[in-house]
Amino acid sequence: MNAKPQLYDISRDLTNGMVVWPGDKDFALTPNGSIADGGPVNVSTVLFSSHSGTHVDAPYHFEDDAPKLDKVDLSAYWGPAQVVTVTKAAGPLTPADFAGYDLGRAPRLLVHSPLSAADTTVFHKAFVYPSPELADALGQLGIVLYGADSPSMDAFDSKDLAGHHALQRNNILILEGLMLDGVPDGLYELSAFPLKLIGGDGSPVRAVLRAVEHMKDEG
């Protein structure tokens, strides 16, 4: 009998009262009917921001003439991925922050920072994000997806969104809000498909890793 594959659910919980980006729509799951009340089924209404929890950004989110969610190449959201850990807790990441790692081992890079282990009941305004220099370097390596446990690819108070635009310039799609606590560095198969929201600017995903290799690079 074949053993079940080792899976890591790297998605944040979507639940009433969850922390959202300040000013964004609160998540709400509301029962519409229940078996307990005499109905034949349990059914609910769900209200949420397109950037709730673990989610993808369509390029249209930050560039008005860029592709909307239903026009994005889905292949970026499934396939080989590498998880790497950084010790920096806040500020821009540069190639120097990944010394000892070969970032070209897989076309999808998932960055694990201290934020994955932080208190989930408060919104943390300090987090790491890719510098334009890092985005350009990853573009040279053929990276197609940059994922992170951070809620944004730029500082909380950024107005120019330089990290977002640099990733887009290098044809790198964005996956935000991962939960990578307890996931060893190494190679995985990633699945993180968005909902088919026509004209959407983003979508929550159920991000899952299948273990392929756990091997932290040591230089």
Question: What 3-state class would DSSP assign to 191?
Answer: strand
Integer Cα distance of 40 and 62 in angstroms: 44
Integer Cα distance of 87 and 100 in angstroms: 13
Q: Which of 55, 61, 112, 165 is catalytic?
A: 61
Integer Cα distance of 177 and 151 in angstroms: 5
Total residue count of the chain as it appears in this document: 219
- Compute CA 59 distance to the chain's CA centroid, rounded to the nearest angstrom: 14
The tokens describing 187, both together, are 């190679």
Contact in structure between 33 and 41 (CB atoms under 8 Å): yes
Q: Is 165 annotated in the active site? A: no
Integer Cα distance of 81 and 104 in angstroms: 10
Catalytic residues: 61
